[in-house]
Amino acid sequence: MSLDKATVAKVANLARIKIEEKDLEPMAAELNNILGWVEQLGEVDTDDVEPMTSVAEMSLRWRADEVTDGGYVEDVVANGPNHEDGFFAVPKVIE
């Protein structure tokens, strides 16, 4: 698998990471190096191996359906750049 410049630009846009035009080629080369490295795993024969879902020998923990959290509006909105009347306030999102 190999990434071209256009794919790098698309992935950057999807991830909301700004990359200058001049940096796209070098970024593609870097990413291709990483992909090539990971693809070495493809050389291992895994035909009869079950997919591993976790490195830990444990199962998903469940919680009882109880209300145990919430009720701290100020602490929640304090983490946004702007808030008003208990709402996060963000630049207008137009459909």
SS3 83: strand
SS3 31: helix
63 binds other proteins (CB under 8 A): yes
**Distance in Å, CB of 27 to other proteins, minimum:** 18
Q: How far apart are CA 73 and CA 23, in angstroms?
A: 42
88 binds other proteins (CB under 8 A): yes
The contact mask relative to other proteins for 27-56 (x = CB under 8 A, - = no) is --------------------------xx--
Q: Which of 9, 47, 54 is nearest to 28 (CA)?
A: 9
Binding residues (CB under 8 A) for other proteins: these are 13-14, 16, 53-54, 58-71, 73, 75-77, 79, 82, 84-95
